[in-house]
Structure formats: C-alpha cells, structure tokens
Chains A and B, each alone.
Chain A
Amino acid sequence: GDSVTQMEGPVTLSEEAFLTINCTYTATGYPSLFWYVQYPGEGLQLLLKATKADDKGSNKGFEATYRKETTSFHLEKGSVQVSDSAVYFCALPYSSASKIIFGSGTRLSIRP
C-alpha cells in the first residue's frame, strides 16, 4: 500500500548549517507530495508542496523537489535558523481515498 518513510531524528544542527531531511514514498501513480511543519505547542501547517514529477516546492527558504526516479521528496534549506526548530512531516495522499498519510516526523533542533 501507499506509505511514506522519512529519516529518523532528532537532527541537531548549528545555525546557518545546511539542512536535508530525507523522505521517500511508495504510491500508486504520481501523487502530490507535501511537507508539513509543527512548531512547539502548535498544530501542523503546510510548509510546501509539489503536484507532479520534477516540480519544486518552496517556502520560507525551504525547498523540496519531486523526484519520480528515486521516489523521493527531500526537504532542504541552505542556512537554518533557530526559529526553524520544529518537527517536520512528509506526507502524501492515499491513492483511493480522501486521506493524507504522514511520515513519522523528524525533530529538528538548531543551536545558536
């Protein structure tokens, strides 16, 4: 069935470091792909999305490219800030229902 696998955390980086959080998926067809972010004490919010292969989603300095060949949607940011500390979730829709599957989440902590 459809599934999402993302790298386990926690990930701890220094401010201004380069960030990559890996996400791979298994799905029927070519679904849209999403990254959500959960800041401490809050619900999730959509960070970025890509609706077809080779699309690049971007927001707040984060980017992710939909790679059909490697079934991946890795999240990247060139220079992280302390305010980026949060939990990041990769997600995709079920192929046959109005539901979204979430990965297990990756906790990111940025040191000043």
Chain B
Amino acid sequence: DGGITQSPKYLFRKEGQNVTLSCEQNLNHDAMYWYRQDPGQGLRLIYYSQIVNDFQKGDIAEGYSVSREKKESFPLTVTSAQKNPTAFYLCASSTKRDATNTGELFFGEGSRLTVL
C-alpha cells in the first residue's frame, strides 16, 4: 500500500537527549513536511523540503533539524535545544513542489513525543 509511515508511534525521552523521528513515503512525492500539533494551537510548520538535498525552515524551526538525502525519507531530529518538545509530530508529503495548487497533503499517523 502506498502511504507515509512514521515511527515510532510513541516515544519517551529524558531531558537533554536528542531524538530522531522517522518519516518514509512510497508515494514518489517531491515535497515533504514536518508539523507539530499542540492542543488548541493547530498545526505549526517546523521544516519542509521540496526536493532532495534541500529544505527550508518553517515557522518554529528552532531546536529541530532535518535532512533530505533520499526522496522517500525526511527524518526530524528534536534536539536538546528545543525548550518544550512534548507534542504530536506529523509528517506529510505532496505530489508537487508547490502543494498550494491542490492543497492535498498526505499525512502519516503521527509520532507522540513525551519528555520525562
């Protein structure tokens, strides 16, 4: 089945540790995105990538890092510099570099990170 796979689904981290969330898609999409979801705040864009080996900061990139070495993979690292990392993280992809034409992002099922 084609889709986006995020792992792990649940993750616990101690303060001061870095953690990497995986996002893999087999839809052959050019663009990929990472969003953070907090209660009452909707989705906020962390990073996005329109093509391999290139990515841009979103609205809340501080304390996060990404890489895009392969078209199908866009891992997100939550670093110890992120002040409040407990949240639900959603990865998405789109068919074109400009997702705004269709508006259709395809989302994974998310990863819930809890800092202990």
Assembly CA distance A98 to B31 (angstroms): 9
Q: Which of A8, A34, A104, A105 contacts B103 (CB 8 A)?
A: A34
- Whether A82 sits at the interface, judged by CB under 8 Å, is no
| Closest beta carbon of chain B to A19's beta carbon, Å | 19
Chain B residue total in the interface (Cβ 8 A): 28
Q: Which of A33, A34, A43, A104 contacts B108 (CB 8 A)?
A: A43
Q: Are A103 and B42 in contact (CB under 8 A)?
A: yes
Counting chain B CB atoms within 10 Å of each CB, the highest count among A45, A98, A105 belongs to A98
Do A31 and B90 contact each other (CB < 8 Å), given the known contacts A44-B105, A89-B43, A98-B48?
Answer: no
Assembly CA distance A73 to B100 (angstroms): 17
Chain A residues packing against B (C-beta within 8 Å)? 8, 31-34, 36, 41-46, 49, 89, 91, 93-94, 98-100, 102-105
